[in-house]
Structure 1
């Protein structure tokens, strides 16, 4: 079982953080398949003096031949588009082609999970039209309807009911069906992370200040309570709807296994405050493991050798946790 790693935008910090992460992962070379531009990886590998070595292939036939033998360094699938320094359109072409190839490889069983380098949504949209992000694109490619964006660190796991939508739309999007799907995905996730554990605790945030304060500040929490009343998994104890301003304090106090948040900033402000450099973004509800570092392309940092690779390294280690027979600690 191999983990695919897509390059992200070759003119962003994706290649830098991937290459720096690989310096810490030589033990897992046989379990990793890098997907991107050989020219881009070679350029940035030399630029940052990182001394990673690669065996490059550019066809499925060549790849299958290598997989049946040993190879030197890390195995790299070249997408066949020439890297051009300063050409952002070409860079986005390489980014989306790497993602498309990962979709093909997931379907073929060549890889069983994927880690994505950061991309420019605007850049890829200029190439293919609409592109709302990795999670949306994979869900569309595999026709998955009930999925969630989640965030992972060693001590905090956050699941979002709604994602990149205007705040004014959140109330209409929080339906009982959506809540039950999110709860189901969250339960399956924590059970997959904590193998052997028998009992779980999951917090769920309210929407309004103080979780509505008994209806004085809004009654939207009723739909959350109704959804929770329909969950029959006796291995999970739910806490909520919780006042959002103290939900993460309750997380620490009760030692939750995860917390479900109603909208993007409700979950991401506390998560990024604590884990901006080392947290990762995870997709739930997919038939494969997918993660990505919890940061963007950071074009302004490119070439300065300042970019932290901890989030990318943790994303790769997260995926390896599901393919290796060992516990792999986060950075």
Structure 2
């Protein structure tokens, strides 16, 4: 692939075709500005896209069927069939077949990423119920990709125009969070966040806020000791090295006073602590970026939304933002010459 002439190739794994994944993907790619910046490759099945093209009256959505990534066409939307037979499409209904296709799409995209045939991956939402089996446990895209690329540590990094929120603990039950939040783990996540803010987002001297674990950030030990014994030692270590890392902050007051606008990154201790304010403030434009991997992966910040699937009312803003963020990070890392 000649990077100096070609547009970056961004793969999109279709996720669950009975959810809103196909709808938001197709609507996002109808943006003509996007096709001038990237070459999209959708890992799915042509019949699924043809179904939604007709069902949603997306007459302007045209694509080219290719057998492998090596046939990619830079002036078209490309589609690779990841299964021989397209499953029956029933919008809003969870089926085992759509789960198998979602996994096949993800696996084929990962293969092409490993072989450096695509420059980034955008993962459309899938359903963890129908992708799992007795032999296979899928916790989430982040964990699956971390294992696939042999990384020891990664970080779920939620990104919008106004805020970037990283997590110390991800998809774990709340009762296990206390074991996950250790000084060492916080230090690992801060290293990933610092490097990502510099390398992926081009921020030379990032300013990071660290949230507390307990209500009121422990209230000087009255409501918990983790802030003093676990979180503050990690912060102090980075401060001693000259990094602009501050906290721990009480999350309710921090977001209530809109302090997120003062920082380049925010490190939350657990999933809902970071994602509830993020999604409340950035739902239609938020992106899930996996920091710390040797590849670029983004995703919209919503799920399959079975309740509105096939109704032509899904908002493609988050999917569009996910594709643009992937393109921005590629551009930050590689001197592309887009024609």
Partner of 1:305: 312
Going from structure 1 to structure 2, the CA distance change for 1:16 and 1:253 (only over 3 Å counts) comes to closer
Going from structure 1 to structure 2, the CA distance change for 1:113 and 1:235 (only over 3 Å counts) comes to farther
Deviation of 1:198 (Å): 3.3
- Structure 1 unaligned spans of 5+: 327-331
Going from structure 1 to structure 2, the CA distance change for 1:89 and 1:218 (only over 3 Å counts) comes to same
Partner of 2:290: 283
Deviation of 1:235 (Å): 6.1
Deviation of 1:193 (Å): 4.4
1:134-173 CA distances to partner (integer Å, 9 max, x unpaired)? 1111112122221111111000110110112222211111
For 1:299 and 1:90, locate their aligned partners in 2 and report how far apart those are by CA, in whole Å: 16
Do the aligned partners of 2:193 and 2:291 also contact (CA within 8 Å) in 1?
yes
Partner of 1:28: 36
Going from structure 1 to structure 2, the CA distance change for 1:159 and 1:177 (only over 3 Å counts) comes to same
Partner of 2:89: 85
Do the aligned partners of 1:161 and 1:263 also contact (CA within 8 Å) in 2?
yes
CA RMSD in angstroms, aligned pairs only: 2.1
| Aligned: 1:205 with 2:208 | no
1:179-228 CA distances to partner (integer Å, 9 max, x unpaired)? 11100111112113442x43221000111111112112211112111112
For 2:264 and 2:37, locate their aligned partners in 1 and report how far apart those are by CA, in whole Å: 31
Deviation of 1:229 (Å): 2.2
Partner of 1:229: 236
For 1:313 and 1:254, locate their aligned partners in 2 and report how far apart those are by CA, in whole Å: 23
TM-score, length basis structure 2: 0.88
Deviation of 1:99 (Å): 0.3
| Aligned: 1:267 with 2:271 | no
Higher RCO (Cα < 8 Å, 6 or more apart): 2
Which one is further off, 145-154 or 79-88? 79-88
Going from structure 1 to structure 2, the CA distance change for 1:120 and 1:233 (only over 3 Å counts) comes to farther
Do the aligned partners of 1:93 and 1:127 also contact (CA within 8 Å) in 2?
no
Pairing partner for 2:76 from 60, 73, 92: 73
What SS does the aligned partner of 1:199 have?
Answer: coil
For 1:234 and 1:228, locate their aligned partners in 2 and report how far apart those are by CA, in whole Å: 10
| Aligned: 1:152 with 2:156 | no
For 1:231 and 1:94, locate their aligned partners in 2 and report how far apart those are by CA, in whole Å: 44
Partner of 2:66: 57
Partner of 2:46: 38
Pairing partner for 2:104 from 88, 97, 103: 97
What SS does the aligned partner of 1:162 have?
Answer: coil
Do the aligned partners of 1:92 and 1:120 also contact (CA within 8 Å) in 2?
yes
For 2:67 and 2:135, locate their aligned partners in 1 and report how far apart those are by CA, in whole Å: 23
Going from structure 1 to structure 2, the CA distance change for 1:18 and 1:186 (only over 3 Å counts) comes to same
1:143-222 to 2 correspondences below 5 Å? 143-195=150-202, 197-221=203-227, 222=229
Which one is further off, 87-96 or 130-139? 87-96
Deviation of 1:127 (Å): 8.3
Do the aligned partners of 2:231 and 2:248 also contact (CA within 8 Å) in 1?
yes
For 1:112 and 1:144, locate their aligned partners in 2 and report how far apart those are by CA, in whole Å: 18
Deviation of 1:76 (Å): 1.4
TM-score, length basis structure 1: 0.90
Partner of 1:329: none
1:263-317 CA distances to partner (integer Å, 9 max, x unpaired)? 1111111111111222111111111111111111111111211111101110011
